[in-house]
Amino acid sequence: MKKKLFICLVLLAVAAIVVTCKDSEKGAKLGSSRALQPYQAMDFSHLLGMEGFSEALLNTHFALYKGYVANTNELLEKIRSYTKSGRTDTPEYAELKRRLGFEFNGMKLHELYFGNLGGAGVLPEDNALYDAIEENFGSFENWKKDFTATGKMRGNRLGGSLPGSRHREAGQYVDQRTRNGASHRMRSPGGPGRV
């Protein structure tokens, strides 16, 4: 049964490739790839007025986030140019790729952070994340202490902490210190790592 299913899937994939190739031979153009579209900054203005965060603080960080988005787009354009011209073995290309990690991570971490703000601040106990925290840390309070300590670590000025980064190989959740190069740190009303 598995062998028949596998053969059917392979034949279906081959048929899809043949149809795609025939269409492109006829001169049909594929639509513009989403991979080549520039990133758009998300609107997080609904967070303005949130308790514990001043409007000035949020607006400053919204501007920083927009800068990460703009710089990510600019770097991707430059990297595409270097790739098209075959200059991928140059020190300049390597530096562009390193810088992309800084800007892209800054963009994505802000999106995750802003996207998770604005709730009641309480994790329901009948929740898969709560269960995973208890399984990996023994209790929610143990996790909270670990996460707070991670955020307060010496030398953590240029990063923060990521709650519940899942290590797929081990199947465990681990709080991690980040060092993505973010040149600032947003503090919640109770200090870093407040849940």
For residue range 46-79, list pLDDT tens digits in order: 999 988 889 999 999 999 999 999 999 999 999 9
Are 72 and 100 within 8 A, CB to CB? Answer: yes
- Please count the structural domains in the chain: 2
* Residue recorded with tokens 């980064």: 165
Residue 172 belongs to some domain of the structure: yes
> Per-residue confidence at 14, pLDDT binned at 50, 70, 90?
very low
Show which of 62, 83, 115 is a domain's final residue. 115
d(CA 165, CA 173): 5
Show which of 87, 115, 143 is a domain's final residue. 115
| Residue 1 reports pLDDT greater than 70 | no
> Per-residue confidence at 185, pLDDT binned at 50, 70, 90?
very low
Q: Tell whether 69 and 138 lie within a shared domain.
A: no
Residue 14 belongs to some domain of the structure: no
What is the per-residue pLDDT for 32? 57
Residue 9 belongs to some domain of the structure: no
Q: Residue-wise over 113-123: b if at least 16 C-beta within 10 A, else e?
A: bbeebeeeeee
Q: Tell whether 108 and 129 lie within a shared domain.
A: no
Long-range CB contacts (within 8 A, 24+) of 122-128: 123/195
Average pLDDT, the chain: 74
Q: Tell whether 193 and 127 lie within a shared domain.
A: yes
Residue 152 belongs to some domain of the structure: yes
Show which of 75, 100, 115 is a domain's final residue. 115
Q: Tell whether 109 and 134 lie within a shared domain.
A: no
Q: Tell whether 136 and 108 lie within a shared domain.
A: no
Residue 132 belongs to some domain of the structure: yes
106 contacts: CB under 8 Å, gap ≥ 6? 64, 65, 68, 180, 181, 182
Share of the chain above pLDDT 90, in %: 42
* Residue recorded with tokens 């601040």: 121
What is the per-residue pLDDT for 118? 81
Q: pTM for the complete prediction? A: 0.59
Q: Tell whether 77 and 111 lie within a shared domain.
A: yes
Q: Tell whether 104 and 132 lie within a shared domain.
A: no
What is the per-residue pLDDT for 155? 60
Residue 184 belongs to some domain of the structure: yes
DSSP state of 29: P
Q: Give the range of the structural domain holding residue 60, as residue numbers without chain letter.
A: 36-115
- Please name which of 183, 136, 175 lies closest in space to residue 153, comparing C-alpha atoms: 175
> Per-residue confidence at 26, pLDDT binned at 50, 70, 90?
very low
Sign of CA dihedral 106, 108, 111, 115: negative
Residue 90 belongs to some domain of the structure: yes
Q: Tell whether 50 and 87 lie within a shared domain.
A: yes
Q: Tell whether 145 and 129 lie within a shared domain.
A: yes
d(CA 132, CA 171): 10
DSSP state of 120: -
Helices 91-115 and 55-84 cross at an angle (nearest 10°) of 150
d(CA 40, CA 17): 32
Structure tokens at 173: 């959740």
Q: Tell whether 102 and 127 lie within a shared domain.
A: no
> Per-residue confidence at 180, pLDDT binned at 50, 70, 90?
very low
Share of the chain above pLDDT 70, in %: 61
Residue 15 belongs to some domain of the structure: no
Q: Tell whether 110 and 141 lie within a shared domain.
A: no
Q: Which run of H or of E encompasses 175?
A: strand 172-178
**Beta partners for 188?**
191
Q: Tell whether 143 and 89 lie within a shared domain.
A: no
